[in-house]
Amino acid sequence: MSTPALEVRDLSYSYPDGRRALDAADFHIHPGERVALLGANGAGKTTLVLHLNGILRPSSGTVRVAGLEVTDDNLREIRRRVGLVFQDPDDQLFMPTVRRDVAFGPANFEVGGEELDRRVRGALEAVGMEDAIDRAPHHLSLGERKRVAVATVLAMEPEILVLDEPSSNLDPAGRRELAKMLDTLDITMLLVTHDLAYAQALCRRVMIMNHGRIVADGPTEHVLADRPLLAKNRL
Amino acid sequence: MSGFHTHALYRHEHSALHGLPSQVKIVSLVLFVGAVVATPRDVLWPFAIHAALLIVAVSIARIPFSFMAKRLVIELPFVLFAVLMPFIGTGERTTVLGVSLSIAGLWGAWTILVKGTLGLGASVLMAATTEIPDILEGFERLRFPKLVTAIAGFMVRYLDVIIGELRRMRVAMTARGYDPSWIGQAGPIASSAGSLFVRSYERGERVHRAMLARGYTGAMPVFERVTVSARDWLTGMAIPGLAWVVAIVSWVVR
């Protein structure tokens, strides 16, 4: 077996107030896989996402990205390897222009000059937003901002792309366009969502999370056909 | 650059002034305003030349004078103050058409009007020919502290977002019978300011998280350094240079 792109072992986390958000979550994703992580609101999905690049630290358990464990010493390399796209693009896009925003990640990793330019253009082309390069993020539509948000992490050339609720708030056409664009990306992907149609359209493998545990993990058509399982997990 | 993402002060054109690097325009603006301020107020002809220089710059930029005039309306409160000065000023007085006016007040009003208008006109021209991100980059290239330009950048970026949030809160309040015209309902305004602060603070935390996720370690990354040609500097300095010559000559010959 190859080294997993992402390996989460017995991951537990409790908030400072004692609420347990992750309870021995355990799974791994292999390079090239596209996996959906489904769960109702409050199931612990976003908490898990924040562990994947060390923004939150586990109470117990480990996270490994392409074999490298998330520790203080290799936080930088971990953050380069994991491309996190947050739910609200207004949180993700904070620079005055799209060009600067897409360049922010690679520039933090000392990429500069022509290579930086190549990465910025490449990432924007991959999401079909190359024409917006000199526009201000707050002048783009929500769908466009979501695409640019994906480009900001693609420019870091990560090992794995993690998307938190990519389809939220989009109109049906916007959802379809985003799905179509994501489908063209040749990258390992973890899609965190409660949008079943999205999981079905994009992923062959689905995991379900409830109360901080992975309660189901299997081929999409099996998991999504199990109505009682979905209902039990508020999906 | 495309013209569909403009701020209200910007006017999309293709002119020599639009194409000038923003740091040249910033330096040029500061020098021009400096020259106007340094010109002695009791000689009139230098101000006519300053105004002529500004008009030449506006024509080069192909900004319509009506556009400039509309943006200059922001000066009105100061004009009002200037108009009052001769009436409320103290000291020696003179009589014009039977009205007693303070001479010091008249000079003060003249100074505010002429220097204020010229300075504001130059600023409006700068804003009309430069996009906000370019202005920020210009300050960065002039080696302004990156923290300051970053804070200004965040302000520009999030102003719309925060106004949008405020608007949604107002709609939610109106939908539940809130009528801001009644003075007794001032309370909700205060509390909405509080929740707007909390929301903005939470947004700040989420943005910080997103920055960390992309390798932010506390310092804004260095982007490409654009070098400005000597020709650009010469072009940009022509008008403020002439203004300074006028200012200095007016001190010598007055």
pLDDT at B2: 37
* % of residues, chain A, pLDDT over 90: 86
Q: CA B106, CA B63: separation in Å to the nearest integer? A: 32
Q: Which residues lie closer than 8 Å to A5 by C-beta, 6 or more apart?
A: A29, A30, A31, A33, A65, A66, A159, A160, A188
Lowest mean pLDDT among A65-74, A115-124, B118-127, B129-138: B129-138
Pairs from A114-123 (Cβ < 8 Å, separation ≥ 24): A116/B223, A116/B224, A117/B224, A119/A155, A119/A157, A120/A155, A122/A154, A122/A155, A123/A151, A123/A152, A123/A154, A123/A155
What are the residue boundaries of the structural domains of chain B, listed by start? 16-138+227-253, 145-213
The nearest CA of chain A is from the CA of B22 a distance in Å of 15
CB contact under 8 A, A55 and B212: yes
CB contact under 8 A, B215 and A105: yes
The nearest CA of chain A is from the CA of B190 a distance in Å of 26
Closest by CA position to B78, among listed B43, B118, B46 = B118
- The ranges of chain B with pLDDT < 70 are 1-7, 180, 182-185, 224-226
Quick check: B216 contacting A, CB < 8 Å?
Answer: yes
Evaluate whether A119 touches A130 at the Cβ level (below 8 Å). no
A 194-223 → B contacts, CB under 8 A = none
Element (H, E) at B133: helix B132-141
Q: Give the distance from CA B202 to its chain's centroid.
A: 30
CA-derived radius of gyration, chain B: 24
Evaluate whether B125 touches B61 at the Cβ level (below 8 Å). yes
Residue-wise pLDDT for A2-36, tens only, equals 899 999 999 999 988 888 999 999 999 999 999 99
Q: CA A153, CA B20: separation in Å to the nearest integer? A: 32
Quick check: A44 contacting B, CB < 8 Å?
Answer: no
pLDDT at B225: 63
Lowest mean pLDDT among A46-60, A112-126, B10-24, B171-185: B171-185
Quick check: B227 contacting A, CB < 8 Å?
Answer: no
What is the value of pTM for the model shown?
Answer: 0.79
For an interface test with A, which of B214, B220, B225 has the most A Cβ atoms less than 10 Å from its Cβ?
B214
Task: Enter the ipTM.
Answer: 0.86
